[in-house]
Structure 1
């Protein structure tokens, strides 16, 4: 097999999470342009150039990746979008092993073999939080493709703006990070680092980020965050399966399909949802509300207009001070 250009193919590990027995791992392999860290001082032109570089990478389908964990090796292949994932069962924490996963691309072969590492984070407890991202924590204008596109290319992690009061609300609902929080979004994996930096910069509790697997590049950058949102339900099911003893708060917005997705979750898992918070984006269609009424009337659904309103509900209904 011919060797490819040095340092072009890289593995990006995204997730290594688990419970006391199972570990779930996810990442992708891409031909990537290495980008410098963003800055709050970057001009809109620099941000646009950075966005072009971010999306100039191309996925590497059918690449082979060797994953090493607890002195065992696993070889996985990427799908058509360069994404790979692996469930490892019977992998209880062992004192003699570090909880570190190592990744190495075996094929295509490169002159310089890149090795990546990611620490496994295991979660436990009775309650967790699952949240959307766009127009739930970060202003994205998802219902206006022109505004959304301009924001996505002209801003970076330090210049994008959060919804007012989000940091306080999320710290309250997670009890200042004591409860685990998971982010599920229709944004694509090219925004993974941006979202991580944004959460940290805005003092919003950090947690695993599960994004849409479909690869976005310069030709279809405008599709980022759009299309079908069925994958959200699948990723929520993954979390429900991985943490069967945990019940969840679900947080989203009315701009896309979060109310319908969360209603389906409640119907499928009626005893696993503690409460739903839906941030209203514009007027909520009466027809949508009527279809959701059987679920909304259960008292689990809370349509909110502000973080302050959500925090008041947490205090009055869920006794979270």
Structure 2
């Protein structure tokens, strides 16, 4: 294991030196830059778009046959990709165009009101970088999904659906670079539980995580491969690169509350089941949501990660809206709760 870690360090050191040397950082007219669209969803009136602008890089599709070395190379490429700050992106939707600017992390977002859905065909949004001007600015498209109804689900990702070891930096780091969407493991029974809580995928589900946008494709592929209900994935905006890759999924989790607030405002007539774990601050964040949005949270499901000490258990019992909380150790136990209490009619 020691030799393996040395090899990993050498690989990342080499790529980091390559990056510092300026071969990955400059943008000129020969470079390809592209938009990575992340989100295009809304209600019957408003739509929300999000994405980022990066220098395009070549990346093969992951496979369950990839070994750890191939996955490390792929992770290095993913995190060495250069985001493009202060770029201008033209967003075209329903025959109207809007120009937005990326932030220091290359991320942009736009919310449009008074935008009723088309009844004739699927709605598409188009993204194109208009500044900086290059010869190879690629156009990206994404289908817009509208959500309605009276009930939805909001779920965390790390150690809630996918094994991440978020409380152990070493294990978390190793998983993040040595595995891919097809070799990362879900929590046992997650697919069955999420099909149950979404009423066999009939309820909309939204994912909120402290992982960064560099993992967007991995999470999206993971959900599809493991037959877990898919939905919009809202991640942390702060850019993670090779220098701070070990910080992915860590730090301040207040952005989760902001993302949930966005969903609460976007779907004011919808109540939600919230799902998280005890390893980070999900229970405290969800208690704050219950307090800020009375009557909007139907149930909170919290997966117990590790063993709760007496102090942590006491803190959880004192949370606002504790009567809405259901604690479980396995997906089978969560399914039993749903069925016993007729949470999904």
**Into which bin does the TM-score normalised by the smaller protein fall?**
over 0.9
Structure 1 stretch displaced more, 157-166 or 88-97:
88-97
Q: Normalising to structure 2: TM-score of the pair?
A: 0.90
Give the match for residue 112 of structure 1. Answer: 136
Structure 1 stretch displaced more, 6-15 or 111-120:
6-15
2:260 is the counterpart of 1:236: yes
Give the secondary structure class of the aligned counterpart of 1:148: helix
Change (3 A) 1:179 1:7: farther
Give the secondary structure class of the aligned counterpart of 1:206: coil
Inter-partner Cα distance in structure 1 for 2:174 and 2:44: 43
Shift of 1:286: 3.0
Q: How is 1:125-136 mapped onto 2 (pairs within 5 angstroms)?
A: 125-136=149-160
Q: Is the 8 A contact 1:70 1:98 kept in 2?
A: no
Q: Is the 8 A contact 2:290 2:321 kept in 1?
A: no
Shift of 1:10: 1.1
Give the secondary structure class of the aligned counterpart of 1:50: helix
Shift of 1:288: 3.5
Q: Normalising to structure 1: TM-score of the pair?
A: 0.96
Q: How many residues align?
A: 320
Inter-partner Cα distance in structure 2 for 1:219 and 1:163: 29
Give the match for residue 65 of structure 2. Answer: 41
Shift of 1:38: 0.3
Shift of 1:303: 1.2
Q: Is the 8 A contact 2:53 2:102 kept in 1?
A: yes
Q: Is the 8 A contact 1:251 1:276 kept in 2?
A: yes
Find 1:86's aligned residue among 107, 110, 124: 110
Q: Is the 8 A contact 1:70 1:97 kept in 2?
A: no
Give the secondary structure class of the aligned counterpart of 1:86: strand
Q: Is the 8 A contact 2:33 2:137 kept in 1?
A: no
Q: Is the 8 A contact 1:132 1:251 kept in 2?
A: yes
Q: How is 1:187-202 mapped onto 2 (pairs within 5 angstroms)?
A: 187-202=211-226
Q: Is the 8 A contact 2:32 2:137 kept in 1?
A: no
Q: Is the 8 A contact 1:17 1:24 kept in 2?
A: yes
Give the match for residue 198 of structure 2. Answer: 174
Change (3 A) 1:169 1:97: closer
Q: Give ranges in structure 1 of 5+ residues lacking alignment.
A: none
Shift of 1:230: 0.3
Q: How is 1:141-290 mapped onto 2 (pairs within 5 angstroms)?
A: 141-290=165-314
Shift of 1:23: 0.3
User: In the TM superposition, what whole-angstrom CA distance separates every residue of 1:108-154 from its partner, at most 9, and x where no partner exists?
Assistant: 11112210000100000111000000000000000000001001110
Shift of 1:283: 2.0
Give the secondary structure class of the aligned counterpart of 1:39: coil
Give the match for residue 50 of structure 2. Answer: 26
Give the secondary structure class of the aligned counterpart of 2:114: coil
User: In the TM superposition, what whole-angstrom CA distance separates every residue of 1:204-253 from its partner, at most 9, and x where no partner exists?
Assistant: 00000000000001111110000000000000000000000000010001
Inter-partner Cα distance in structure 1 for 2:263 and 2:153: 10
